[in-house]
Amino acid sequence: MDKPIDTNTANNAFNRGVDVASTTMHNAINSASDAASPALKQMASSAHSSVDKMANGAHHAAEAISTKGAQLHQLQQQLAGDTRTQVRSHPLLAIGIALAGGALFSWWLSRRTVQRDASGRDAG
């Protein structure tokens, strides 16, 4: 749980992939426009613009996801630390809560099994 997630590496790899795809699409557009008339060259220019907008959008989305991932990881670490502190401060209360939660969970699972058996379905 304490292993840091390297979102920058994943983000950089994604960005490189977007750049390669964008370059490939630009090359294909250029090849098509070189063999076409001026009207198609205008369409190719518009296609270039669209590809650039899509690539910029993908880069922006990757950055946002990377930032949110880092924030969630930090929040997870903080929550785990706070929980650890509370358990160390109140060990008997923590044991009581764990036992009560386990009992409720066990009761809930046994009720579901009984209901399935009563309805004629397979309990497993």
Residues of the chain with pLDDT under 50: 123-124
Q: Give the burial class of 66: count Cβ atoms within 10 A of its Cβ; 0-12 exposed, 13-18 middle, 19 or more buried.
A: buried
How many Cβ atoms sit within 10 Å of the Cβ of residue 39?
A: 8
Task: Give this prediction's pTM.
Answer: 0.49
Q: Quote the tokens at residue 51.
A: 């590809």
- Count of alpha carbons within 13 Å of 9, Cβ hemisphere only? 3
CA angle 54, 60, 63 (to 5 degrees): 140
Q: Quote the tokens at residue 9.
A: 């590496």
Give the tens place of pLDDT for each residue, 73-103: 999 999 999 999 999 999 999 999 999 999 9
